[in-house]
């Protein structure tokens, strides 16, 4: 995400005129130019201009032939105004004041306007504007005959009041684009200059073909969607390459864990302590404790912030977007808290105040929008007054309904909003329709006396139907009205009322159709007048704890929404709070509860819960807290292992989803008995009897899979002081399965982490493993060791250096728990003699072919790829 802020130039840096040497100028005269054609919509502002006001006292008494103003800054350069008050006209010029500090081949492209202010009538102010490319030979530019001295000194003219003259200058430097060196060939700088010129002076939309061609994009890339991030990265790289010597820094700010731009800046300038294993290496002094941080010496006129909205998710093996709430201040003050972001060398007299501009991008134009258009109008009106103003419908004749999606892909109103709901904010109403709020507006008919309308009295067993009338002669379709009917009633019972609604005779024969949508077409199905409005469904309910036994049955309507279903169920179970019931659908095959329960109001109707009428069974469980509150939390089943690595007990820990692994550890410490009060704990993920991950303390528990086994164990003392060349490796147990013709091994038992020292042989490691696992000598002599990955293992000999087979850090260089795909494998018989189950990992190796084994594990498909040997 890109955020561009423009500096607020209400306070301008003004320096003393003696601060830089100034040669006697040879003024260059310019003819005023007319402004380019303006586009219809308000376009994006030009680069920020700086207004400088020069007040000259006692002008008529000056004896100087040339007079200079104070120095002021615009576009990162210093400027001065100079006048020649002698002769027949006042001559007025703009000059580059810091030319002597610039390289010999310097150029500055700028637009500027000069004005002599009429202090009595501002509309008579004399103003002239032009643009110029300043360089070492043309350091100034202006107008020799700006205003005649006769007109200037006229007592009634208003230009000289109390012998004081006021001169204003507006300067906009176009250094970012027009100043880039270009060649005649179609390069990115040349294409940028061309497109910006057309944007500034054109009155139509501009083609970007020249710009994309300069990127090297051909016809094929034109049909691929490219986002603004790709464009920004390409531009920044090319600009940095072409503008050698121009100071530039790509400012990338974190979004995760930050509530606004200020929090991101605070995180960017945080001081990092380099100590322990992360000491700073200083030349001639070795490793030293140090502090590392970033501060800014200055900020540019236009500040571009790259917000890091994407990060790599190791669980999904993909880039995921961070959708956390993030706020942008209307004004960004980077001088806050006594300049906390500035280095001691920064110029504190420069004001670093930026204003947020919101830009609207459509197909052909970019326009600047105000706050109301940018925020409120993106989501529709805030209240009924906005609807009344937009549609011309009085507030007390409005009634809003929630929509629901039907099985035939049409939408229908489900229920009206209550008076309490209408008084709530839109944000509080979103949860009523699964995080997407769509409302139907009913216009209530009214007569002379307009009174507030209350929702119709609706009892259980009633449904609300809306009717439209089609006139085949006029080929018109119009809304006819609505009726509350009994769900057990029949259409034939309301034919007389429908005729009255349509204006027909009571005995007029009419046809009824149900309208529904199939893909992109609307279809009508005839309605049988003798059938009931709704067909019921007898639902068998089972407790999730006893999924194979029917407990009771309820007759429910297939169109019941979520609240109606759990309401009837709560009434049957004598529960006061229906929100404490959680439902789970039945899977297609095998016929057992699905692994994922139904989310709170996550389905629209009962038929969706029953897998679209393929099943008549629902599983329920009664919770100790309301389901919406539970869904805002993360539940983890954690097995605790003490210092001897023996399993002690399994705890269920429930914490808010934004909690970290460190919070899990702290919560568990209050529930278990540790070997000592200062013992350190760590959380491991176990999959198929292998350690697949060791979690860091700051990792969010929301990212932890719901289907893995979690283990918490004490960190041994030998692992707390690892050397620079030491590492921790994952150790797993396996045995040979003799029931198969292929060579294979089966992973079983409890895996563990083991310290491997540099230069340590397998014979030395085996001694420590035997002692750790307390294995008798006779049995341990039969154990075999190998280095294993996801392919065939490599046997190890007693003389092999074990550390040579393992990396010191994982593939991302983030921890010392060894690469995730490498293991120290211990082959021995499985003394537990437990039968093979689907939660054990079996790997089959064949030297000729690749085979894929798919096992259904708790309703999930686990795929193992067997690689060639």
pLDDT value for 365:
67
Please state which CATH class domain 632-715 belongs to. Answer: alpha beta
pLDDT value for 28:
52
CA 804 to mean position of chain CA atoms: 42
Question: What's the fold here for domain 727-865?
Answer: Ubiquitin-like (UB roll) (3.10.20)
> Tokens 């190791």 sit at which residue?
314
pLDDT value for 763:
94
- What's the CA gap between 380 and 426, in Å, rounded? 10
The number of CA neighbours under 13 Å toward the Cβ of 184 is 0
Burial call 269-295: b when 16+ CB within 10 Å, e when fewer? eeeeebeeeeeeeeeeeeeeeeeeeee
DSSP state of 165: E
Residue 170: Cβ within 10 Å count = 16
Whether 755 contacts 718, CB under 8 Å: yes
pLDDT value for 83:
92
Whether 711 contacts 739, CB under 8 Å: no
What is the location of CATH 3.10.20.90 in the chain?
Answer: 462-526, 542-630, 632-715, 727-865
Question: What's the fold here for domain 542-630?
Answer: Ubiquitin-like (UB roll) (3.10.20)
Output the DSSP codes for 799-857.
TSBGGGGS-SS-TTS--SS--TT-EEEEE---TT-PPP-TTS-EEEE-SS---EEEEEE
pLDDT value for 471:
87
Q: What angle do CA 212, 216, 217 make, to 5 degrees?
A: 55
- What's the CA gap between 371 and 284, in Å, rounded? 57
CA 770 to mean position of chain CA atoms: 50
pLDDT value for 742:
42
- pTM more than 0.75: no
* Residue 276: strand, helix, or coil: helix
Question: Which stretches in the chain have pLDDT values below 50?
Answer: 1-26, 31-46, 379-382, 447-453, 518-519, 740-743, 810-816, 833-869
For the segment 141-168, what is each residue's pLDDT rounded down to a tens digit?
999 889 998 889 888 889 999 889 999 9
pLDDT value for 20:
34
- What's the CA gap between 739 and 25, in Å, rounded? 99
* Residue 464: strand, helix, or coil: strand
The number of CA neighbours under 13 Å toward the Cβ of 188 is 17
The domain over range 462-526 is classified in CATH as 3.10.20.30: no
Q: Counting runs of H as helices and runs of E as strands, what totals does the chain give?
A: 19, 47
What is the location of CATH 2.60.210.10 in the chain?
Answer: 10-175
pLDDT value for 6:
40
- CATH architecture, domain defined by 10-175: Sandwich (2.60)
At 690, which helix (H) or strand (E)?
Answer: strand 690-694
């Amino acid at each position: 995400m890109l955020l561009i802020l423009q500096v607020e130039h209400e306070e301008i840096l003004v320096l003393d005129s003696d601060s830089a040497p100034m040669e006697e100028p040879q003024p260059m005269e310019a003819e005023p130019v007319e402004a380019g054609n303006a586009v219809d919509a308000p376009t994006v502002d030009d680069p920020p201009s700086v207004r400088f006001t020069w007040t000259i006292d006692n002008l008529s008494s000056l004896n100087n032939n040339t007079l200079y103003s104070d120095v002021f800054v615009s576009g990162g350069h210093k400027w001065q105004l100079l006048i020649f008050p002698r002769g027949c006209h006042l001559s007025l010029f703009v000059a580059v004041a810091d030319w002597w500090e610039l390289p010999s081949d310097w150029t500055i492209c700028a637009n500027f306007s000069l004005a002599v202010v009429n202090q009595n009538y501002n509309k008579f102010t004399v103003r002239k504007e032009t643009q110029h490319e300043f360089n070492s030979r043309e350091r100034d530019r202006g107008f020799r005959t700006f205003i005649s001295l006769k007109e200037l000194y006229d007592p009634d003219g208003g230009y000289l009041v109390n012998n004081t003259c006021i001169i204003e200058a507006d300067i906009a430097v176009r250094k970012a684009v027009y100043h880039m060196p270009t060649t005649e060939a179609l390069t990115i700088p040349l294409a940028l200059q061309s497109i910006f010129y057309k944007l500034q002076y054109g009155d139509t939309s501009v083609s970007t073909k020249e710009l994309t061609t300069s990127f090297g994009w051909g016809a094929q890339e034109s049909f691929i969607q490219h986002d603004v991030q790709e464009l920004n990265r390409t531009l920044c790289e090319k600009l940095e390459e072409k503008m050698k010597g121009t100071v530039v820094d790509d400012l990338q700010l974190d979004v995760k864990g930050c509530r606004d731009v200020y929090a991101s800046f605070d995180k960017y300038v945080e001081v990092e302590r380099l100590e322990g294993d992360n000491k700073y290496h200083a030349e001639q002094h070795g490793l030293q404790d140090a502090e590392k941080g970033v501060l800014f010496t200055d900020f540019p006129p236009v500040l571009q912030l790259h917000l890091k909205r994407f990060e790599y998710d190791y669980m999904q093996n993909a880039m995921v977007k961070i959708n956390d709430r993030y706020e942008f201040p209307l004004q960004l003050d980077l001088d806050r808290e006594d300049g906390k972001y500035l280095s001691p060398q920064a110029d504190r007299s420069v004001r670093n105040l930026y204003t947020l501009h919101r830009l609207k991008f459509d197909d052909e134009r970019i326009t600047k929008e105000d706050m109301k258009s940018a925020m409120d109008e993106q989501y529709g009106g805030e209240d009924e007054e906005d609807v009344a103003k937009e549609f011309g419908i009085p507030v007390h004749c409005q009634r809003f309904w929630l929509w629901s999606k039907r099985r035939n892909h049409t939408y229908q109103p489900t229920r009206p909003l209550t008076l309490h709901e209408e008084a709530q904010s839109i944000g509080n109403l979103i949860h009523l329709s699964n995080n997407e709020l769509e409302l139907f507006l009913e216009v209530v008919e009214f007569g002379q006396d307009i009174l507030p309308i209350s929702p119709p009295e609706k009892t259980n067993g009633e449904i609300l139907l809306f009717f439209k009338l089609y006139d085949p002669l006029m080929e018109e379709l119009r809304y006819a009205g609505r009726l509350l009917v009994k769900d057990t009633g029949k259409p034939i019972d309301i034919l007389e009322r429908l005729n009255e609604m349509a204006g027909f005779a009571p005995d007029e024969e009419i046809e009824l159709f149900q309208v529904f949508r199939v893909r992109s077409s609307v279809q009508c199905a005839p309605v049988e007048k003798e059938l009931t409005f709704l067909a019921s469904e007898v639902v068998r309910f089972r407790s999730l704890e006893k999924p194979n036994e029917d407990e009771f049955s309820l007759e429910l309507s297939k169109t019941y929404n979520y609240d109606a279903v759990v309401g009837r169920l709560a009434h049957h179970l004598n529960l006061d709070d229906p929100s404490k019931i959680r439902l789970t659908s039945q899977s297609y095959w095998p016929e057992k509860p699905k692994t994922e329960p139904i989310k709170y109001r996550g389905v629209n109707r009962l038929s969706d819960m029953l897998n679209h009428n393929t099943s008549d069974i629902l599983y329920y469980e009664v919770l100790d807290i309301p389901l919406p509150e539970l869904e805002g939390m993360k539940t983890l089943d954690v097995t605790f292992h003490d210092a001897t690595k023996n399993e002690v007990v399994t705890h269920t820990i429930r914490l808010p989803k934004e909690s970290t692994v460190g919070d899990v550890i702290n919560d568990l410490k209050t529930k278990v008995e540790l070997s000592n009060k200062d013992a350190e704990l760590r959380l491991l993920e176990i999959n198929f009897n292998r350690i697949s991950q060791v979690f860091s303390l700051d990792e969010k528990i929301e990212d932890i899979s719901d289907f893995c086994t979690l283990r918490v164990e004490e960190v041994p003392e030998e692992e707390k002081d690892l050397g620079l060349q030491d590492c921790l490796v994952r150790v797993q147990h396996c045995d040979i399965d003799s029931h198969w013709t292929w060579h294979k091994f089966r992973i079983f038992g409890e895996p563990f982490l083991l310290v491997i020292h540099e230069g340590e042989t397998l014979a030395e490691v085996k001694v420590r493993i035997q002692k750790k696992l307390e294995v008798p000598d006779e049995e341990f002599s039969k154990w075999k060791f190998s280095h294993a990955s996801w392919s065939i293992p490599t046997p190890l000999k007693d003389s092999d250096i074990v550390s040579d087979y393992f990396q010191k850090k994982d593939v991302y260089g983030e921890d010392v728990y060894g690469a995730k795909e490498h293991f120290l494998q211990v082959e021995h018989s499985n003394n537990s003699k437990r039968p093979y189950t689907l939660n054990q990992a079996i790997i089959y190796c064949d030297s000729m072919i690749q085979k894929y084994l798919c096992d259904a594990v708790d309703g999930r498909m686990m795929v193992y790829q067997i690689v060639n040997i």
